[in-house]
Amino acid sequence: MTDSGDRTIRVPVLARVEGEGALDLIIRGDRIEQLQLRIFEPPRLFEKLLEGRPYTDVPDIVARICGICPVAYQMSAVHAIEQVFQLNPGPWVREMRRLMYCGEWIESHALHVHLLALPDFLGADNVIELAERYPDEVRRGLHLQGLGNRLLRLVGGRSVHPVSTCIGGLSHAPTPAEIAALLDEFRQALPMAEALLAWTASLDLPDEQQDFTSVALRHADEYPMNEGRLVSSAGLDIPIQAYQDHFREYQVPHSTALQSSLDGQPYLVGPLARINLNLDRLPQDLQQQVAACGITFPSRNMFHSLTARAIEVVYAMGEAIRIMAAYQLPDSSRVDVTPRAGIGFGCTEAPRGILWHTYELDADGQVQAATIVPPTSQNQARIEDDLRNSLTAYGLHRSDDELRKHGETVIRNYDPCISCSTHFLKIKVGRE
């Protein structure tokens, strides 16, 4: 700290987040002069990489964008491409895609809650230290994460970068015996997920109320995963095709990831936004559990994201049980595909929030152009807003170490997937 009270605080590498980022903070007196969530992970250029590729390559390529949420990338892509081909793969495929999403939500949320977020709220440096004090809770978290992974392996072929998803359906169908075995384990583990929900709601989380706009999909009669309209807490209600009429991506100098705004303002996507906008789409018994947990949703406390994730773990467990209990082996796991030219849109709910894709294809189904807007990109401006509010409320007079730790806690609370978000590179070439 200088005599004038000016301080520069740097978190050069953020720990316990997916990918590589940093936080730079300049405080002048009693106010934050500059705050930058700096994402320096190299651009990955997936959109350009897709150009010229056949539609059949797309699900496998986009799955490589993320090892934690590959299903989300596959789902947004196949829905967009099937929209171009005017293809409806039918109810069996719809249910299997929802089942895969359940697996991804369970593994991703269980991982974030236990390994990445909880150490912040329970005074531990990492999950290994946490495990020494809360062994039963961490074992429970690992078991739930493992079940999510096993569901992905069964339906997707493997848990990291699944391989079964294709345009028109799945490349294989699990046998009823395989489904029945996993169903039994899911039924046994459902009380564990419910206990997780009650436990996270009982934790003494920071109480910070903030103003922000929640954005999520909303479906007519189910909790949103693969389908729905885009809605916001500010009254937005549009089809996913109209996304670019309201949302804008833009580059900031300090980040290799694009930021996004809704009608010029930051917004929130992810589990808290989904719960805030879709509480009434949860099953009645789960709504009762949420009502009994002591937290009122919609919530303006960003730290309630932890409980929102736990609610979605319970939901995904129950939804997976429902789908697996009704499982029947189909005659075919996919429908025939006839390529067409056109532009299609896909928007699904990744664990971290809405993931919007659009593809332009030619008559052979070859990709002419692709745009992918990941949830972490969309949350970046909101995270910076949150940091300004939260650090100021926390007290800028605090020590650098305290501010650094609180800043990291705020960022990790969003479960940012930095690797996913860095897909853009702006190149300016000067010629004489």
Which residues contact another protein (rule: CB under 8 A)? 15-19, 67-68, 111, 115-116, 126-128, 131-132, 135, 138-139, 142, 145-146, 149-150, 158-160, 419
Residue 49 or 160 having the CB closest to another protein: 160
Cβ closest to another protein, residue 144 vs residue 205: 144
Q: Whole-number minimum distance, CB 206 to another protein, in Å?
A: 23
What's the burial of 169, exposed, middle or buried (CB within 10 Å: 0-12/13-18/19+)? buried
Query: Which C-beta is closer to another protein: that of 98 or that of 150?
Result: 150
Beta bridge partners of 369: 360
Min dist. Cβ of residue 126 to another protein (A) = 5
Minimum Å gap between C-beta 67 and another protein is 7
Shortest approach of another protein to residue 418 CB, angstroms? 9
Report in angstroms how near the CB of residue 41 gets to another protein at its nearest.
Answer: 10
In the bound state with another protein, the residue whose beta carbon lies nearer, of 26 and 160, is: 160
Which among 139, 105, 109, 117 has a CA at the least distance from the CA of 16? Answer: 117
Residue closer to another protein, measured from CB, 68 or 84 = 68
Q: How far is the CB of 124 from another protein (least distance, A)?
A: 11
Looking at the Cβ atoms of 272 and 420, the one nearer to another protein is 420
Question: Which CB, 346 or 351, lies closer to another protein?
Answer: 351
Alpha carbons 157 and 172: distance in angstroms, whole number:
9
Shortest approach of another protein to residue 58 CB, angstroms? 19
Rounded to a whole number of angstroms, the minimum distance from the CB of residue 14 to another protein is 9
Task: Name the residue nearer to another protein (CB basis): 43 or 67.
Answer: 67
